A and B are shown apart, each in its own frame.
Chain A
Amino acid sequence: MTLLTTAPADLAPALVPPPATRTLTLGKAVNTALRDAMAADPKVLVMGEDVGRLGGVFRITDGLYEEFGPERVMDTPLAESGIVGTAIGLALRGYRPVVEIQFDGFVFPGYDQIVTQLAKMHARSLGKVRVPVVIRIPYGGGIGAVEHHSESPEALFAHVAGLKVVSPSDAQDAYWMLRQAIEGDDPVIYFEPKRRYYEQGDLDTTRPTRPLHGARVLRQGTDATLLGYGPTVKTCLAAARVAEEEDGRSLEVIDLRSVSPLDFASVAASVRRTRRLVVVHEAPVFFGAGAEIAARVTEHCFHHLEAPVLRVGGYHAPYPPSRLEEDYLPGLDRVLHAVDHVMSF
């Protein structure tokens, strides 16, 4: 130990045990989290359409069927309400079902069970019933998909008391946020940024990085704050780099990570430093997460603001045919445009 602390910096790595860190894709991190959660707790089940032999259409459940068998990795009938409703029953029986909804736009047949049943059971039983169901939803656009395969419905869930809504942006969070969601006793809607499934990142499975519902400052800055979650975090980081290189602007970037609950304290602290905020999400801005954040910033940081809070996101139109999605999505140029705007005040 003494040797370690006094060793020259360039020698230290050779003396430290190799870190339990590996590099993998975000999708593989989700897969690893499912495998580790199932190994750690026999009550954890995976269920959904094609999650068994196929390993899911995105291969997120790849290998789980072979490892844990059909009793714990359940290929279900093609019926989202049935999947969520029976997951509720299994949770009432003491299981921890992790449900895969194949695509964002397919969740709505199950929306009734999620909103009217899953979200309310703990409250209406006065805390006697717990329904720890995690619903994984690959969401968002940018993959050139057909209709109903590119949507961002997180606000429709965040609006519902009793649900928690989270979305990771990298491999480390993808792993740990899912582990934490499964271990918690509340229903969690876990939105996976499907166009980031193949992004490489480091994963340390030895300890969680931070609480499930805490935001994280990815880059410190002084001129304005960019706030994203899920797929837009990468866009925000890119925008911050470009703004610095081209305009010498110092932008702070926050990964919100959790839409419900919001870590508003972290957002407010950042806004009080930078005095300007741009929220970026793929979901339509109208009544979206950005609207809630803007309202709260106005309430709590009014005297710190140099500019109105701006939102960059989807339009109040159905998600367009994929040839138009780059015009619909909040890409780098639209984010930089908003930065120019927020700095003009």
Chain B
Amino acid sequence: MESADREKSPGSTREAAAPVQLLTPDGRRVEHPEYSIDVSPEELRGLYRDMVLARRVDAEGVTLQRQGELALWPSLLGQEAAQVGSARAVLDGDHVFPSYRDHGVALCRGVDPLALLAMFRGVSNGGWDPEDHGFHLYTLVIGSQTLHATGYAMGMAKDGAHGAAVVYFGDGATSQGDVSEAFNFAAVYDAPVVFFCQNNQWAISEPTEKQSRVPLYRRADGFGLPGVRVDGNDVLACLAVTRAAMQRARCGQGPTLVEAFTYRMGAHTTSDDPTRYRDSAEVAHWAAKDPIARLRTHLLDTAHADQAFLDEVDHTADQAGQRLRALVRSMPAPDPHAIFDHVYADGHSLVDEERAQFARYEASFAETGGN
């Protein structure tokens, strides 16, 4: 379909190939000529568990923000398959460069979601060690991390490491110059990096049509790297396509752009009001393609899982949510003197001076009996 698409006239640049799909919205398993996948029932149940947990943690983030415990929360609702499917293609030795909505990827990599919640509570600006789980810090400036992932991958190639980097970004990010530069650097240096674009159709209020005249996966053509569109609500397809792209990268065959065609069911963040710019009919249309529901249907239809399993997963996720809620609520504010920590690795006299100044200022209240 891709080649047929390319033959069309410039006037039809919005034409796109059908996304790679292995599990239909009604839960039927289908085959794809290029992307076959052999998944055991146990793995299927694992993917289901991951997605349910991701949705539960995400819901907890929204709730905690509504309760005033978080300053902000960017919900992943609807993108569980894109995140879990791709993240489960990541192996030890690979490195993930996330954006800021990739809580499901973080969970799959073993990052404690408390670290993510701390960030949106205003307690830290990150703070986890990227080397612990091969999961780098969230990046809030749109698209910047695509270059970091590319540079990191260039370094991996120099080291002769058998790993790859994967970078997450959205449809809006594809308009950023940094993303184009990253595609180009990756292509020129043949860097082992996978560009995983979650096209959730909306960059806050702007639809993808405002970002690009061509389907996003076809951006890859001009840079000389393969581009593939995958059903982003199909966890199996996301796993298969990302797995193949990561394997290509690890084997020295260079970068790939994956466009996961999905939908942001919730608001951009808890500060956003999507009713101002999109129809409820559109949301309903995508609700019918729900990534968790389709795998649940498939698991039940194939008898790979029963209701007891589903209940147990729900219960476990709920417990995780409750644990996070309690921990977030009791999370203390950082010590104000931490403002001056880690500004530099080797120190800086001005930071030392201002730290001392701040300490004297604070101490002045204690001396006068203030509080």
Contact = CB atoms under 8 A, between A and B. Distances in A.
Contact of A162 (B126, B151, B165, B343): B343
Contact of B155 (A90, A122, A185): A90
B284 interface: no
B268 interface: no
Give chain B's interface residue range (CB within 8 Å of chain A).
35 or more
Given A85-B150, A88-B148, A95-B155, A123 B343 contact: yes
Interface in B142-200: 144, 146-156, 158-159, 165, 177-178, 181-182, 184-185, 188
B349 interface: yes
A89 B345 contact: no
Contacts of A113: 144, 147, 178
Contacts of A122: 342-345
Given A127-B341, A128-B128, A129-B137, A86 B154 contact: yes
Nearest to A80: B181
A125 B342 CA distance: 8
Given A92-B136, A128-B129, A164-B344, A86 B144 contact: no
What 3 pairs between A and B have smallest CB-CB spacing?
A89-B151, A85-B147, A93-B155
A128 B151 contact: no
27 contacts: A71-B158, A77-B188, A79-B181, A79-B184, A88-B147, A89-B147, A89-B150, A89-B152, A89-B154, A92-B136, A92-B151, A94-B155, A109-B177, A112-B141, A117-B144, A123-B341, A125-B128, A125-B137, A129-B129, A129-B130, A162-B344, A184-B345, A184-B346, A186-B344, A186-B348, A261-B349, A261-B350
A93 B130 contact: no
Contacts of B131: 128
B181 A85 contact: yes
Contacts of B114: none
A12 interface: no
Contact of A86 (B124, B125, B185, B343): B185
Interface of A: 71, 76-77, 79, 81-82, 84-95, 109, 112-113, 116-117, 120-130, 132, 161-162, 164, 184-186, 213, 260-264
Contact of A90 (B127, B154, B182): B154
Contacts, number: 146
A125 B129 contact: yes
A343 B368 CA distance: 45
B116 to A, nearest CB: 13
Nearest to A85: B147
A217 B144 CA distance: 42
Contact of B178 (A81, A90, A130): A81
A81 B151 contact: no
Interface string B218-254: 0000000000000000000000000000000000000
B351 interface: yes
A126 B126 contact: yes
